[in-house]
């Protein structure tokens, strides 16, 4: 029988974090992390199949039903720190990870920097962040400053129905997504406003990163992963737009790599059963 979910909330020292949980205490503890501008509902089609797993999927700060960070912007390491605080709240000294896209990158950072706490990490169409070298730092910081100054003048769009918001996500997303998959994410990502609907998402998430890791920084985190690690790679996903990253993946011999035909959100699309089967086998091997 497929597992059913329930809502969870965590009162962290600096922010309220919401999420969805599947499974019962006693199962393999797994924290799941969604992609940029998505939310915990991104795992709605794979989580119910993960028997023997106690999965807690978070709305990362600034996303979904979680609170927003102060006006200092967001970084991968800030988000990773929030994940660790959730693990502390749950009493999980050691736990496994499941990440999609940005969530996969955060999983790699956590698994590489705190290997003693991570039982295993499964990552879906994401591994390393966008990088730039030291010489690019002034230009990257300038982009952040200029965008920060313009942020206050921007207004969120208002839709007169949730259906129109779904259409906007399908047509305006950075990666192709079906209407059904978009509907899962939009339902958790909207709030009523001025007689219509608008996004809950923190506008600060649209700011460019003030600093990026160098290529060597990014690679070092993945090289330092000692726990079992699994990468589900979408053959038509975003990583295939970056051949330099794909070349690196082949060099990481400690990664289990599964290549599947499908787009960036393949875990929410028709390929979800295939992705769930890979994840189930991976987590079973950790138990």
Of 30-34, 128-132, 226-230, the one with minimum mean pLDDT is 128-132
pLDDT at res. 124: 98
In this structure, are residues 61 and 67 in contact, taking their beta carbons and an 8 Å threshold?
A: yes
Q: Could you tell me what percentage of the chain is helix, strand and coil, using 3-state DSSP and rounding each to the nearest 5? A: 40, 20, 40
Q: What is the pTM of this model?
A: 0.96
Q: What's the mean pLDDT when you consider all of the chain?
A: 93
Percent of the chain topping pLDDT 70: 99
Chain segment 38-88, per-residue pLDDT in tens: 999 999 999 999 999 999 999 999 999 999 998 767 899 999 999 999 999
Chain segment 134-151, per-residue pLDDT in tens: 999 999 999 999 999 998
Task: Please state, in angstroms and rounded to a whole number, the distance separating the CA atoms of residues 63 and 17.
Answer: 9
Percent of the chain topping pLDDT 90: 83
**Superfamily, domain 5-133+213-286:** Alpha/Beta hydrolase fold, catalytic domain (3.40.50.1820)
Residues 6+ apart with CB under 8 A from 226: 115
* Residue whose structure tokens are 């915990």: 40
Task: Please state, in angstroms and rounded to a whole number, the distance separating the CA atoms of residues 273 and 242.
Answer: 26
Task: Please give the backbone phi and psi of residue 181, each rounded to the nearest 5 degrees, phi first.
Answer: -65, -40
How would you label 145-170 residue by residue, b for 16+ Cβ within 10 Å and e otherwise? eebbeeeeeeeeeebeeeeebbeebb
pLDDT at res. 229: 97
pLDDT at res. 1: 63
pLDDT at res. 12: 95
The pLDDT-based confidence of 250 (bands split at 50, 70, 90) is confident
pLDDT at res. 66: 98
In this structure, are residues 156 and 203 in contact, taking their beta carbons and an 8 Å threshold?
A: yes
- What mean pLDDT comes out for the span 189-197? 93
- What mean pLDDT comes out for the span 263-281? 97
- For the chain, domain boundaries: 5-133+213-286
Chain segment 213-243, per-residue pLDDT in tens: 999 999 999 999 999 999 999 999 988 777 7
pLDDT at res. 5: 94
């Amino acid at each position: 029988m497929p597992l059913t979910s329930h809502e969870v909330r965590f009162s962290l020292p600096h922010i309220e974090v919401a999420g969805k949980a599947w499974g019962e205490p006693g199962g393999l503890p797994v924290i799941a992390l969604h992609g940029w501008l998505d939310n915990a509902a991104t795992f709605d089609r794979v989580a119910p199949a993960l028997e023997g797993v106690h999965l807690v999927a978070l709305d990362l700060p600034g996303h979904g039903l979680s609170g927003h960070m102060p006006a200092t912007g967001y970084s991968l390491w800030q988000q990773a720190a929030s994940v660790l605080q959730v693990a502390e709240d749950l009493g999980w000294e050691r736990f496994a990870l499941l990440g999609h896209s940005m969530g996969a990158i955060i999983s790699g950072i956590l698994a590489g920097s705190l290997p003693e706490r991570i039982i295993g990490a499964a990552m879906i169409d994401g591994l390393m962040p966008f990088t730039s070298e030291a010489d690019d730092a002034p230009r990257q910081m300038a982009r952040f400053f200029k965008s920060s100054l313009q942020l206050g003048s921007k207004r969120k769009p208002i839709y007169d129905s949730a259906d129109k918001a779904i259409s906007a996500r399908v047509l305006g997303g950075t990666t192709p997504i079906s209407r059904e998959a978009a509907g899962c994410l939009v339902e958790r990502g909207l709030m009523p406003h001025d007689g219509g609907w608008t996004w809950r998402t923190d506008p600060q998430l649209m700011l460019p990163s003030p600093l990026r890791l160098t290529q060597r920084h990014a690679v070092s985190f993945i090289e330092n992963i000692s726990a079992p690690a699994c990468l589900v790679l979408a053959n038509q996903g975003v990583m295939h737009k970056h051949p330099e990253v794909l070349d690196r993946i082949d060099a990481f011999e400690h990664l289990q790599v599964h290549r599947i035909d499908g787009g960036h959100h393949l875990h929410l699309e028709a390929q979800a059963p295939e992705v769930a089967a890979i994840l189930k086998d991976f987590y079973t091997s950790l138990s």
